[in-house]
Amino acid sequence: MSALFIAGTGTGIGKTFIAAALARALRAAGRGVRVAKPVLSGFDESDWRASDSARLLDAVGIVP
pLDDT (tens digit, 9 = 90+) per residue, 7-55?
A: 999 888 999 999 999 999 999 999 999 998 877 776 777 877 788 888 8
Residue of 22, 27, 37, 53 marked catalytic: 37
What does the pLDDT read at residue 11? Answer: 85
Class of residue 50 by CB neighbours under 10 A (exposed 0-12, middle 13-18, buried 19+): exposed
pLDDT, residue 13, reads 93
Report the distance separating Cα 44 and Cα 59, nearest Å.
20
With contact defined as beta carbons under 8 Å apart, do 8 and 15 qualify? yes
Q: pTM of the predicted model, to two decimals?
A: 0.76
Q: What is the pLDDT of residue 64?
A: 64
Q: Is 15 a catalytic residue?
A: no
Q: Report the C-alpha dihedral over residues 35, 53, 29, 15, rounded to 10 degrees.
A: -90
Where in the chain are the domains? 15-59
